[in-house]
Amino acid sequence: MKLSGASTLPEVAIAVGEQLARHGIRAVLTGGACVAIYTRTYTSKDADFVLQGRVTQPALDAAMKELGFERDGDRFVHPEIEFFVEFPPGPLPIGDDLSIEPGWVSLGGLSALALSPTDSCRDRLAAFYHWDDRQALRLAVEIARTQEVDVGKIREWSAGEGMTVKCEEFVAELTHGHTRRRRRRR
C-alpha cells in the first residue's frame, strides 16, 4: 500500500503493522488507532505499536524508512501524512491484565496484529475507570456497539480491577443505546 496525504489512520496503521511483520518485527497496534479501526468514526493523531520481543533501533528504522517514515525523537513521521507512529514501551497490559492475546485486523489486503475488539474496549474502559475519562467510556460503548465483544470477560476483568460499579455504568450505557435504537425502528 502506497501511503499518501489521503491515507486514513486505519490505512496507515495497518500498512505499518504489515511492514513490521514483513521485517520479522512483532508489534501490536494499541490505543486510539484500534478505536479508529473498530468504530470508523473516531480519529487520533497517532498509531501506537507495542513491540514484542527484542528489536534493534536500526532494524525498526529500516522497516519504517521503506514506508517513507523517518525517526524524529521517539516518534516516526512521514512527510505526506498527518499521523505519526510511536512505539511505547511494553509489556502490553490492560489495567493489571498482562495476558493480552492480540488478533489480526485487515484492510485493503493488508493485515496487522492489534488488540481485539474486546481488549480495545477494555483499554478504553481502563481510562474511564482510573482517570474518569468520559470520552473513553463513550468510545468503549461505541466499540461494543459496532463490534462483537465479550461482555462477560469485560465484567470479570472489571471486578478484578475493583471497578464493578463503573462496569455496570458501561453496561447500562450499552443497553440504553440499544433500547433507544430499537424504539426508533418501530
End residue of a domain, out of 69, 88, 115: 115
Q: Which of 46-50, 162-166, 178-182 has the lowest mean pLDDT?
A: 178-182
Whether residue 135 sits in one domain with residue 110: no
CA distance 9 to 183: 34
Judge whether residue 182 has pLDDT over 90: no
Q: What is the mean pLDDT of the chain?
A: 93
Judge whether residue 177 has pLDDT over 80: no
End residue of a domain, out of 115, 147, 168: 115
pLDDT, average across residues 18-23: 97
* 28, containing H or E segment: strand 26-30
% of the chain surpassing 70 pLDDT: 94
| Bond before 93 cis per omega within 30 degrees | no
Cα torsion 35, 40, 45, 51: sign? positive
Q: What is the dihedral of CA 144, 167, 45, 11, to 10 degrees?
A: -20
pLDDT value, residue 176: 85
With cut-offs at 50, 70 and 90, classify the pLDDT of residue 104. very high
This prediction has a pTM of: 0.91
pLDDT value, residue 2: 83
pLDDT, average across residues 105-123: 96
Q: What is the CA radius of gyration of the chain?
A: 17
pLDDT, average across residues 105-114: 94
Query: Does residue 69 form part of some domain?
Result: yes
pLDDT in tens, 76-98: 999 999 999 999 998 999 988 99
Judge whether residue 161 has pLDDT over 90: yes
Query: Does residue 81 form part of some domain?
Result: yes
| Residues of the domain holding 29 | 9-115
